[in-house]
Amino acid sequence: GAGVSQSPRYKVAKRGQDVALRCDPISGHVSLFWYQQALGQGPEFLTYFQNEAQLDKSGLPSDRFFAERPEGSVSTLKIQRTQQEDSAVYLCASSLVTPVGRAPTYEQYFGPGTRLTVT
Amino acid sequence: GQQVMQIPQYQHVQEGEDFTTYCNSSTTLSNIQWYKQRPGGHPVFLIQLVKSGEVKKQKRLTFQFGEAKKNSSLHITATQTTDVGTYFCRGSGNTGKLIFGQGTTLQVKP
């Protein structure tokens, strides 16, 4: 079946431009996560949705970062007035909350990421 | 704040040698997950550990969760070139925070 998809795969933006990054999670996955991964580093948590509710946005580095998931499926991460330090790979992951009565499993399925370069 | 430290950052081994990466948290974790990321790829889930002292095996990979649920290790026996990549642990704290370690990049010389 289809995995998590992200678009665009690569984005070059001039400093000060706004960008919008899209994530299509696996169909039926309730949870959706955004991460920022700098070169040579582990993914850094940005924000988390359960359905359309943004339950945790504590990782967003500034108010220039905004994420939404209005219908509980596709999500968009928007970065306003991009800065050079925003250059990174932005990863989206989704997970299926297991039914009640089974051992909790929060395996996350990652998309290929969007590589953002701010010049 | 909560931190997850992973060591070593890099490891070069000869094919056939063993490899271990360690993950240490500053606070107790409710569970820990391990992911592998190939060069140019995205993280792929390997396993999740939940119980204190838990040990799980996947072929040549052995995963351990410490008794205090503050540390974990991934051991690969007899590495192969297909094991090349960066291995990340991801801790989940009691507050629900998700924190990745910095990763250990494994290079295997044939």
pLDDT number for residue A98: 53
CA dihedral of residues B26, B27, B30, B33 (deg, nearest 10): -10
CA dist A80 and A15 (Å) reads 10
At A72 the three-state DSSP class reads coil
pLDDT band at B96 (very low <50, low <70, confident <90, very high): low
CA dist B19 and A65 (Å) reads 39
Mean pLDDT of chain B: 93
- Contacts with A25 from chain B: Cβ below 8 Å: none
Asked if pLDDT for residue A102 goes beyond 50, the answer is: no
For chains A and B, count residue pairs whose Cβ atoms are closer than 8 Å. Answer: 46
Q: What are phi and psi for residue B11, nearest 5 degrees? A: -150, 125
- Contacts with B98 from chain A: Cβ below 8 Å: 33, 45, 48
What pLDDT digit, counting tens, does each position of A28-42 carry?
999 999 999 998 889
Contact: B50, A104; criterion CB under 8 Å = yes
% of chain A exceeding 70 in pLDDT: 92
| Cβ atoms of residues A90 and A77 within 8 Å | yes
Put simply, whether A68 touches B (Cβ < 8 Å) is: no
Distance (Å) from the alpha carbon of A31 to chain B's nearest alpha carbon: 13
% of chain B exceeding 70 in pLDDT: 95
What pLDDT digit, counting tens, does each position of B11-23 carry?
999 999 999 999 9
pLDDT number for residue B42: 94
Asked if pLDDT for residue A103 goes beyond 70, the answer is: no
Distance (Å) from the alpha carbon of A35 to chain B's nearest alpha carbon: 10
Asked if pLDDT for residue A74 goes beyond 80, the answer is: yes
| CB contact residues (below 8 A), chain A span 28-67, against chain B | 33, 35, 41-45, 48, 56, 58
pLDDT number for residue A100: 46
R_g (Cα) of chain A, nearest Å: 14
Kindly state the average pLDDT of the residues B61-80.
97
From the list B33, B45, B101, the residue facing A42 with the nearest CB is B101
- Smallest Cα–Cα separation from A116: which of A4, A3, A20? A20
pLDDT band at B93 (very low <50, low <70, confident <90, very high): confident
% of chain A exceeding 90 in pLDDT: 76
**β-sheet bridge partners, residue B95:** none
